[in-house]
């Protein structure tokens, strides 16, 4: 499930899709114990509110893609969010929409998000492998005041192998 947040003017272009179904979403706030609190039934809207401190309004969907309006966005940019809340920013390409149609443009956006998402996942996996810090077991003896957790783990591993004995 993807979520797209855009300005009202940009959303008007997406509404031109023949598959767009109007669904005004949930109310942003509900009354609970005499006070108004943010409605937590729409998890994405709650995330967006806590992240950007602004309220978004559901407008509809095209299949599994939900569309929201943020009235503080003033240009033709829009953001696409994946299920795990990764953000992808785009500028509305009005020439492509005019030449190929809004359905083609939505497919193009979906394909771009999918490719960039896969690249991010691969980069994160590589970064986790590369960023694994190495500890130096000798630091315990040479500089005990500057020992970190990784050094201690390395020392304990060496001790279990029988290299060190106290």
Residues 115-142 pLDDT 10s: 999 999 999 888 877 656 677 888 888 8
| DSSP single-letter state for residue 69 | E
pLDDT by residue (tens digit) across 71-105?
999 999 999 999 999 999 999 999 999 999 999 99
- Using CA atoms, how far residue 47 sits from 32, 52, 146, in Å, is 20, 9, 41
Cβ pair 29, 39 in contact under 8 A = yes
**CB-CB contact of 10 with 16 (8 Å):** no
pLDDT > 90 in the chain, percent: 57
DSSP string across 115-146: HHHHHHHHHHHHHHHHT-PPP-TTHHHH-GGG
């Amino acid at each position: 499930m993807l979520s797209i947040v855009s300005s009202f003017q940009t959303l008007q272009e997406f509404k031109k899709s023949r598959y767009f179904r109007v669904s005004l979403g949930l109310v942003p706030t509900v009354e609970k114990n005499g006070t108004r609190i943010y409605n937590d039934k729409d998890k994405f809207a709650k995330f967006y509110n806590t992240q950007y401190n602004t309220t978004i309004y559901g407008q509809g969907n095209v299949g599994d893609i939900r569309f929201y309006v943020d009235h503080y966005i003033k240009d033709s940019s829009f953001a696409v969010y994946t299920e795990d809340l990764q953000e992808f920013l785009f500028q509305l390409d009005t020439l492509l929409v005019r030449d190929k149609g809004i359905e083609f443009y939505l497919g193009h956006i979906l394909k771009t998000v999918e490719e960039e998402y896969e690249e991010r996942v691969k980069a994160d996996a590589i970064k986790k492998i590369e960023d694994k810090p190495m500890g130096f077991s000798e630091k315990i003896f040479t500089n005990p005041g500057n020992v970190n957790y990784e050094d201690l783990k390395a020392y304990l591993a060496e001790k279990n192998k029988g290299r060190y004995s106290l």
